[in-house]
Amino acid sequence: MVSKVDAVPARVLREKPEHLPRFTAALLAASRYFAENKQPWIEAMQRRRPDVEGEDLAALWDQFQSSWAVNGALNLGDYRETTEFVYQSESFKDVPRIQVEDWVDTQVLDSVLRTIGVYEKFDEPGRRN
């Protein structure tokens, strides 16, 4: 199940196309760093959430171990499966169907992955760039 999607207005795509690859590369670099480095993630989280105990943050990191978006978490197969699941629910029975390709564009992410490479341990992109 896909539970998180990053989106950008079409205006940003048109007016600031050079910003998106840099932003995406920075997000992937941070994800990759924290996926490999538990203690720095705990310390960063403690600065943002001093109300959460370090032991709890350590347990959370352990749970996240294979779910970091190190390749952008944009596997179209996963998105299709989630879409099918949602459309089978009662809440979506009367909602017109749209295909994943109608609202997902992988171009920016794919260009970044071509530059920095695919992280092979997890977060399979489902396509080769």
As given in the structure block, the two tokens for residue 22 are: 């840099």
Provide the number of structural domains found in the chain: 1
- Cα dihedral across residues 38, 21, 5, 67: positive or negative: negative
Q: How far apart are CA 90 and CA 54, in angstroms?
A: 41
User: What does pTM read for this prediction?
Assistant: 0.86
Return the pLDDT at 6: 84
- The boundaries of the domain holding residue 103 are 10-116
Quick check: 129 pLDDT over 70?
A: no
Residue 42 lies in a domain: yes
Residue 3 lies in a domain: no
Count other C-beta atoms under 10 Å from residue 49's C-beta. Answer: 11
Quick check: 54 pLDDT over 90?
A: yes
Residue 95 lies in a domain: yes
As given in the structure block, the two tokens for residue 127 are: 């396509």
Residue 122 lies in a domain: no
Residue 111 lies in a domain: yes
**73-117 confidence digits (pLDDT tens):** 999 999 999 999 999 999 999 999 999 999 999 999 999 999 999
DSSP letters along 40-66, please? Answer: HHHHHHHHH-TTS-HHHHHHHHHHHTT
Q: Where are the beta strands (DSSP E) in the chain?
A: none
Quick check: 128 pLDDT over 80?
A: no
